[in-house]
Amino acid sequence: MIVLRLALQSLRNRWITAVLTILSIALSVGLLLGVEKVRSAARDSFSSTISGTDLIIGARTGDIQLLLYSVFRLGNATNNMSWKSFSDIAKRSEIKWIVPLSLGDSHRGFRVLATTGDYFKYYKFRDHRALTFANGNKFDDLFDTVIGADVAKALHYQLDDKIIISHGISAIGQKHDTTPFRVSGILKKTGTPVDKTLHISLKAMEAIHVDWRTGYKMPGHSTPAAILRRMPLQTKAITAALVGLKSRMQIFTMQRFVNNYRAEPLSAIIPGLTLYKMWSLVGTAEKALIAVSALVVITAILGMMIMIFSTLNERRREISILRSVGAGPLTIIGLLISEAMILTALGIITGTGILYALLLASRSAIDQHYGIYLTITAPTQNEYLALGAILLGGFIAGLLPAWRAYQVSLADGMIVRK
């Protein structure tokens, strides 16, 4: 207790240097834990985007590419899957449910997804949670659309508002302005790409492209909406399909059937395995971020050690007086180590507090802009181990100056230099 009291009094006398050291350690600790929190949250957000889907089927392409454009709305399909192939696969006895997806158009930077009403029944996210409506219901009319929570919030849309869809995903794409859509439903927030998506029916996707050929609208053609509603619209191709099987034991059998499908080249991927493959590719970048954060922590601890070393010359008389009144080796060494441990511990506590305050303040904005849902939880076992390693580093950083301080001789410390 005496050593601890002496250490606290010493730091109090040098409070400006001590506060700056604590802030340096706190910022480095906050950075290290923050990188780990965001990394874990990003993985959880990606992993929870789709749940309960056994297979994703699309035209032959890379596994990760198929996952990215069908689930995360990132990128575009190199080719489409014919409706005939979709219907053929849907008739298989292993299939419990199958939901077609068709991408290609957009609205003011948000992707448009054409599908069927089964999408709202079978699409699951975050531990088999179903989509629910904040307002309205799924599309009934040909030109109804269901929008995600972020679309409604960003563009201030409400039920029955009119929406004009643009052809393609370019901001300067030609608009389907002769066939406006009505907002029939607004989905509750999910923290997934669904929030940034406008959903229309497959027939609606065909309807708005009746007057289009090879990506361009035919001059002078503009079929009225009333006529489009009466037309026998038939889907010709889709981008991908989500599949649920009657038994998970049939996943690999069904995947092999699709990959060897003879009518056209198709790919079937298992979402969980593909996500694991994707994270293994970006694992190097994650490790690099953690390594940089760890180096920042080491730099802060080294800075603390340099600070303690730099004050030793000023404290030679203080240390010599302590030795002259009977302070033993353990007291002198314990004093310097205690100072280092106090600075490190306060830095850890301050940095952790700052991090959690920032997480609470920015969670909503990060979720809205990046689709990453930050869960505010207690530090994990790995994070506690990291904090323990930092505390150990503080102990080691205080040990070297402490040993140096003890070596200062009593006579040298009592000499008054002019």
Res. 225: pLDDT tops 90: no
Of residues 407 and 137, which shows the higher confidence score? 137
pLDDT reported for residue 258: 96
pLDDT reported for residue 410: 47
199 beta partners: 113, 146
Of residues 215 and 238, which shows the higher confidence score? 238
Residue 322 Cα to chain centre, angstroms = 54
Res. 157: pLDDT tops 50: yes
Q: Percentage of the chain with pLDDT > 70? A: 89
Tokens of 155: 């563009």
Of residues 391 and 328, which shows the higher confidence score? 391
Nearest Cα neighbor of 79 from 238, 262, 261 is: 238
Tokens of 32: 């290290």
Phi, psi of 135 (to 5 degrees): -150, 150
pLDDT reported for residue 215: 65
Mean pLDDT value of segment 262-272: 94
Question: How far is residue 348 from each of residues 49, 110, 191, 286, 353, measured CA to CA in Å?
Answer: 34, 42, 31, 22, 8
Amino acid letter, 360: L
Mean pLDDT of the chain: 85
Place of tokens 């079978």: 122
pLDDT reported for residue 200: 96
Mean pLDDT value of segment 269-279: 88
Res. 260: pLDDT tops 90: yes
Range scoring the smallest mean pLDDT among 2-16, 96-110, 169-183, 353-367: 2-16
CA-only gyration radius of the chain, Å: 31
**197-201 and 181-187 beta bridge pairing:** unpaired
Of residues 327 and 134, which shows the higher confidence score? 134
Tokens of 232: 């026998």
The domain segmentation of the chain, as residue ranges, is 2-46+282-414, 55-269
Per-residue model confidence as pLDDT tens digits over 61-114: 999 999 999 998 888 888 999 999 999 999 999 999 999 999 989 999 899 999
Model confidence band, residue 370 (pLDDT cutoffs 50, 70, 90): low
Of residues 288 and 94, which shows the higher confidence score? 94
pLDDT reported for residue 270: 95
Contact 195, 371 (CB under 8 A): yes
pLDDT reported for residue 65: 93
Per-residue model confidence as pLDDT tens digits over 297-317: 888 888 888 877 777 666 666
Per-residue model confidence as pLDDT tens digits over 229-259: 888 889 999 999 999 999 999 999 999 999 9
Of residues 379 and 103, which shows the higher confidence score? 103
- Helices (H) then strands (E): counts for the chain: 14, 16
At residue 115, the 3 state secondary structure works out as strand
**H helices present in 130-262, as ranges:** 149-155, 202-207, 225-230, 251-259
Mean pLDDT value of segment 12-26: 85
Res. 17: pLDDT tops 60: yes
Length of the chain: 418
Tokens of 305: 């050690």
Of residues 153 and 169, which shows the higher confidence score? 153
Range scoring the smallest mean pLDDT among 199-208, 387-396, 404-413: 404-413
E strand or H helix that includes residue 14:
none
Q: What is the DSSP string of 346-365?
A: HHHHHHHHHHHHHHHHHHHH
Of residues 390 and 191, which shows the higher confidence score? 390
Nearest Cα neighbor of 26 from 389, 357, 345 is: 345
Mean pLDDT value of segment 29-48: 81
pLDDT reported for residue 282: 72
Amino acid letter, 195: D
Q: What is the DSSP string of 284-312?
A: HHHHHHHHHHHHHHHHHHHHHHHHHHHHH
Res. 293: pLDDT tops 90: no
CA–CA distance, 387 with 344 (Å, rounded to integer): 10
The pTM (predicted TM-score) of the whole model is 0.73
Contact 59, 77 (CB under 8 A): yes
Res. 173: pLDDT tops 70: no
The count of C-alpha atoms lying within 13 angstroms of the C-alpha of 273, restricted to the half-sphere facing its C-beta, is 10
Nearest Cα neighbor of 210 from 228, 196, 192, 195 is: 228
